[in-house]
Amino acid sequence: MNVDDLRDKTIIVTGGAQGIGKAVALRLVRAGAAVVVADIDGEASAEMAEEVAEPGALCFLPTDVSDEASVAGMVEAALAWRGAVHGLVNNAGIANPGSTPVESLDLAAWNRMIGTNLTGVFLCVKHAAAPLRAAGGAVVNIASTRALQATPHTEAYSASKGGVVSLTQALAMSLGPAVRVNVISPGWIAVNDWKKRALRTPPTLRAVDHEQHPAGRVGRPEDIAEMAAFLLSDAAGFITGQNFVVDGGMTRKMIYLD
């Protein structure tokens, strides 16, 4: 499988200036792609631009994925930059699952989570669908293992990510065969080193954090980036409508309390 040949491909990565999105964007650049980093955080985008050795391979576009006009303008600018869109990674989202009991959950907070994490995916695909069809492209959505299992008081986040998984299946049917659509559900991914400088902190991972993963360690953003690069490549040409759980095996582990 050759996932290192994405030359002449233009790929949009939302939320691409920090965390998993940044790892994905840089992995795609290494594979030869031109990457549109669509991010609402201008400070993070500016820092990333300073860090990248090949700045010409990146185009930074300020984007609020929950706002349709912002998304439409971003896709238009991406097309103006390279003339085509071959791939879309819907990574932008509010990452904090929250800890507010459902009885106290404010409707505005619910709507903000759904609007960014789920509606944002819909809006980006809606406006990128035509160029993706023309290019025979691929979409990779980023969900979470919270779509499959949950902890208390994470209703909005879990619902948003469960919606992304279901939306992926529907989009794969609606956009195929021209466009493939898949979703990655990351587990515990340590993103400390991939945040902007103001938020960057040393990882505080304990031995037990690694040991509870059947794979033997907590995940890294690079783990998700490798899967995204594969799913965007021609090597994944027969794969669509699937949810890839990348969690070190945690959702397959039975837990018994003594």
What are the respective helix, strand and coil percentages of the chain, to the nearest 5?
50, 15, 35
* Residue 21 φ/ψ region, left for φ over 0, alpha for ψ in the -120 to 50 degree band, beta for the rest: alpha
Whole-number Å distance between alpha carbons of 151 and 37? 32
Before 177, cis peptide (omega within 30)?
yes
157 is catalytic: yes
Closest to 220 in 3D by CA, of 3, 19, 47, 61: 19
Cβ(90)–Cβ(124) under 8 Å? yes
Give, as one character, the DSSP assignment of residue 202: -
Q: C-alpha distances in angstroms, 13 versus 17, 181, 237?
A: 9, 14, 20
Catalytic residue among 157, 194, 230, 244: 157
Cβ(36)–Cβ(78) under 8 Å? yes
Sign of CA dihedral 210, 91, 184, 236: negative
What amino acid positions are annotated as catalytic residues? Answer: 157
